[in-house]
Amino acid sequence: MPQREYVINHNTTYGYHQNDNVPPINSFLRKDKYEILTIGTIRDFEINSTVLENTKSSEVFKFSYIGDGEVKEKLETFSKTLGINNVVFKGRYNPEDERELIYNCDFVSVLRYCDSENNKTALPNRLYSATIAGKPLVAYKGTYLAEIIDYYKLGIVLDSLNNLEKELLNYIDNDFKYYTVGRNNFLDKIKGDNTNFRESLIQILKG
């Protein structure tokens, strides 16, 4: 973008209300199974199919795809063809149910390759909804989204898809301890940016 001063508005209303609050973070305890949720429009067949194939024998992680789109149908067919049993697919959901669906999972997936300008630069709704809900994100290296997640310690950024189960368990045991501080810093950044945007807009409208 041209070198000038910009005012940023994040794709969330967090920071617009005085009574905004977020839930506290509980300890990430070891358990028998963890849910990795993809919610919204289902995209990026290549990376998701690779993840499902590489983890099809996992008894520790299950994958949930809740939403619609052509890729959802392709992934569902792909999973049935390969006999992948640790994945569930659900269709459209009521927007008012999204918060509860995210609260009930363990990780939120924002996996995408850096294979298009949109994937390289986009910051999806899941970045904000998962962070507000206190759920770590799972991303792949090379995108601006991955940079944000890595900088603020909002989850795990994968360099490879070959050892996903091992990488996630290592994150739970060793790296999740950095999540709360990073999350608080990111939410403070959002709140400051959105408040500044609102005040700047009000000044512009006042003329």
* pLDDT at res. 108: 97
Three-state secondary structure of 45-102: HHHHHHHHHHCCCCCCEEEEEECCCHHHHHHHHHHHHHCCCCEEEECCCCHHHHHHHH
Q: What helix, strand, coil percent values describe the chain, rounded to 5?
A: 45, 15, 40
CA–CA separation, 14 and 28 (whole Å): 25
DSSP codes, 108-119: EE----S-SHHH
Other residues' Cβ atoms within 10 Å of the Cβ of residue 74: 14
- The whole-model pTM stands at 0.86
Residue 83 CA: distances (Å) to CA of 69, 75, 117: 22, 12, 33
Q: Cβ(106)–Cβ(34) under 8 Å?
A: yes
CA–CA separation, 109 and 38 (whole Å): 5
Listed in sequence order, the residues at least 6 apart from 50 whose beta carbon sits closer than 8 Å to its beta carbon are 161
Express each pLDDT in 79-103 by its tens digit: 999 999 999 999 999 999 999 999 9
Express each pLDDT in 66-75 by its tens digit: 999 889 999 9
Can you list the residues of the chain whose pLDDT is less than 50? 1-2, 4, 16-19
CA–CA separation, 133 and 34 (whole Å): 16
Q: Give 24's DSSP letter.
A: P
* pLDDT at res. 122: 87
* pLDDT at res. 5: 56
* pLDDT at res. 19: 45
Measure CA 134 to chain center: 11
Express each pLDDT in 35-57 by its tens digit: 999 999 999 999 999 999 999 99
* pLDDT at res. 13: 56
